[in-house]
Structure 1
Amino acid sequence: MSRVWEVPVHDSTRVRDARMAVREACARAGLAAQRTAVAELVATELATNLLKHAGGGRMVVNLVVQPSGAGESVQVFSIDHGPGIADVTAALRDGHTTADGSLGAGLGSCRRSANAFHLYSAPGRGTVATARIDPAPAGRRVPAAPMPAGGITMSLAEAEECGDAWDWVRSGGLLTLLLADGLGHGAKAAHASTAAVAELRRSAHLPPGDLLRRLHTALRPTRGAAVSVAQVDTERAELSFAGVGNVGARLRDGDTWTSLVTHPGIVGAYFPAHIPVRRMPWRRDSLLVMHSDGLPSRWAPPEDPRLLTHDPAVVAAAILRDAGSAARPLRDDTSVAVLAPDRRTSTHDSHL
């Protein structure tokens, strides 16, 4: 999960670069030729749309592990600060195009071909689209369950290896989200954060405090990481949160955003004797955002209520987009992960 592909798309030559990035990601994930072809089509269409309709933007490709742990999927993000889409419903129809030279496949083809496709667009603010390509083709009869968690990871200076990693796991009635920021950058930082994700999958039954202690042992052979853990007990409708190091979190409850405090230290190196665990109600309108310190400390939580009902990966990508700009590039590896109740209310989200 530490490998990241990022392609700024500001001229036609970068469309091919986006397609090649997705092809490499599919090979890394072990996707078959047919699924790779689908991913390339989606990437080409999204990159072409960036040029034709948004005046350019950015393509980001991450690898994500499915909740079952059965292999990796390729997650494609298209992010822009363009004029937005005036008629999203029309844009999602198969074959819809408003630009000369378009493939004519349209966003509808992306939605139909990908296992999950999500789109958020606001006039004057731009568009965020995400497409997930799984090893198996999209099912036509039984929709895939909506994901309660999603995120995006970007590397400093478009480096191949990212020192940040996030993941989520179910264990009975517990749903646990973890975000780890390995110390420094590059392969060694990625080694630490990847080790944290691997331990999460072995120990997701533990409460956050105990899980962090287990992570401390697992990360001792690495350079260490800042780690935050959020866990929802779905039966009790309660969120528990604990963190060591500078991985921030904010919880939305109603119209109020609350910052959740982490304890100083480094998991795997300098571990505190006591870890405060904060417990809060988890409601149907709750939303949790976790992020590494690559996100500006004064980032503003999203205000558009439409965005907050979208897929968590879209919310994460929009937060990252709106926290920076071309004039304010990332200053570190950056990850944003979002946890939402098990629901889907946006008509522009599609799980096929």
Structure 2
Amino acid sequence: MDLNLSSSLTLVLQVDDESQIGHARRVVQKLASDNGFDGNDAGRAALVTTELTSNLLKHAGRGELHVRVLPHGSASGIELLAIDRGPGFNLHDCLADGFSTGGTQGIGMGAVDRQSDVFDVFADHRGAVLMARLYPRGSKVTDARFGVTQHSLHDDPACGDIWHLAIQDKHVSALIIDGLGHGPEAQDAAQAGEKAFASSPFSTPTVVMEDLHRAMCGTRGGAGAVAQYDAATGNLQFAGIGNIGATLITLDKSRGLASHPGILGAQFRKAQAFDFPDCSGQLLVMYSDGLQSRWNLQDYPGLMHRHPAVIAAVLHRDFCRGRDDVTVLVVPLEAANG
């Protein structure tokens, strides 16, 4: 699987009233149609949207539907994440066909699972995250196991954060840049760095950082980090400048990946790459400083086994600072073995 995925904001639809169910359904159906879904597949996306948003009102009273287009060569997919803060629900009941607390057809999350190409859920006392990914039927797309959520401060159209993910054979290269501040000038700085990365994402991390620095000269500058994983060896290399967070996670522990101080495009010393051997099976989480750093997946039993898109959504829900742009990128390192 070869992919080169550019940064894009997460579309957030608020759901706190029944009228917003219909709005969400129409938005997703049009988005699907605009991205190559035929009438039947777009209708399938609309049906899943209706059930997910209805579920938010039934079990939590309110929540959000996060929507993302998943570019994948000639066939794009749609990702839907229904996110709430509780009080929770009986997952076993909701997965049963015919279960409804009223107001919908009660097709059940089990039917949503069958309508979706990828379905996953995590629920505890803090709330729930339900994820559905849909692709046009017959497209034979293999789902890329990664998760990302990106949001600008106050829903500004300009976002100073960017992410980029490149997958080539057994290699993964992941980038996050946080332009200084927020707004258009921060976005310009971050996009200049992303453009340099996209042209050569598998150069060594130190070369990548030097490329970012040169590309961001003359802009406001920012922080940036790149992580590269080789599934053939299990080795991960990481280099960062500034306050981009990165963590490697196993079932029983986590370790932070260190960045050096400085500002890409301004005050920059020679980058240093750190090697982390035997990383196969671990989880890589990279994030901008719009996310708090004091979180631990061990506080969420079972979450590490969920789809990385669900993990990213939970971290954003519970640890977003709310005073800056925020990006969370989650990549299971064994995914490159496919």
TM-score (norm 1): 0.82
Q: 2:144 corresponds to which residue?
A: 147
Q: 2:3 corresponds to which residue?
A: none
Q: Does the 8 Å contact 2:179/2:221 carry over to 1?
A: yes
Q: 2:105 corresponds to which residue?
A: 103
Distance in 1 (CA, whole Å) between partners of 2:67 and 2:52 is 12
Alignment of 1:119 onto 2:116: no
Q: Does the 8 Å contact 2:9/2:149 carry over to 1?
A: no
Alignment of 1:230-249 (within 5 A): 230-249=227-246
Alignment of 1:44 onto 2:50: yes
Alignment of 1:42-191 (within 5 A): 42-66=48-72, 69-70=73-74, 72-88=76-92, 90-93=93-96, 95-122=97-124, 124-134=125-135, 136-137=136-137, 145=142, 147-191=144-188
Question: Alpha carbons of 1:2 and 1:151: their partners in 2 closer, same or farther (altered >3 Å)?
Answer: closer
Is there any run of 5+ residues in structure 2 with no aligned partner, and where? 1-6
* Percent of residue pairs bearing the same amino acid type: 34
1:277: Cα distance to partner?
1.2
The residue type equivalent to 1:330 in the other structure is: G
Q: Does the 8 Å contact 1:147/1:311 carry over to 2?
A: no
Equivalent residue of 1:166, what SS? strand
1:169: Cα distance to partner?
1.6
Q: Does the 8 Å contact 2:291/2:326 carry over to 1?
A: yes
Is there any run of 5+ residues in structure 1 with no aligned partner, and where? 344-352
Q: 2:288 corresponds to which residue?
A: 292
The residue type equivalent to 1:150 in the other structure is: G
Q: 2:4 corresponds to which residue?
A: none
Which one is further off, 286-295 or 209-218? Answer: 209-218
2:328 to 325, 336, 345: 336
1:231: Cα distance to partner?
0.9
Q: Does the 8 Å contact 1:118/1:130 carry over to 2?
A: yes
Superposed CA deviations along residues 161-190 of structure 1, whole A, max 9, x for unmatched, are: 433232322234321122222333344444
Equivalent residue of 1:43, what SS? helix
Superposed CA deviations along residues 52-86 of structure 1, whole A, max 9, x for unmatched, are: 012211122233433xx546433222111213332
The residue type equivalent to 1:8 in the other structure is: Q
Question: Alpha carbons of 1:254 and 1:115: their partners in 2 closer, same or farther (altered >3 Å)?
Answer: closer
Superposed CA deviations along residues 314-336 of structure 1, whole A, max 9, x for unmatched, are: 11111112225xxxx61111111
Q: Does the 8 Å contact 2:100/2:108 carry over to 1?
A: no
Question: Alpha carbons of 1:156 and 1:257: their partners in 2 closer, same or farther (altered >3 Å)?
Answer: same
Q: Does the 8 Å contact 1:115/1:138 carry over to 2?
A: no
2:28 to 15, 22, 30: 22
The residue type equivalent to 2:137 in the other structure is: P
The residue type equivalent to 2:57 in the other structure is: L
Distance in 2 (CA, whole Å) between partners of 1:65 and 1:314 is 18
Q: How many residue pairs align between the two structures? A: 330
Q: Does the 8 Å contact 1:96/1:108 carry over to 2?
A: no
Distance in 1 (CA, whole Å) between partners of 2:219 and 2:117 is 35
Q: 1:265 corresponds to which residue?
A: 262
Q: Does the 8 Å contact 1:6/1:158 carry over to 2?
A: no
Question: Alpha carbons of 1:8 and 1:146: their partners in 2 closer, same or farther (altered >3 Å)?
Answer: same
Equivalent residue of 2:299, what SS? coil
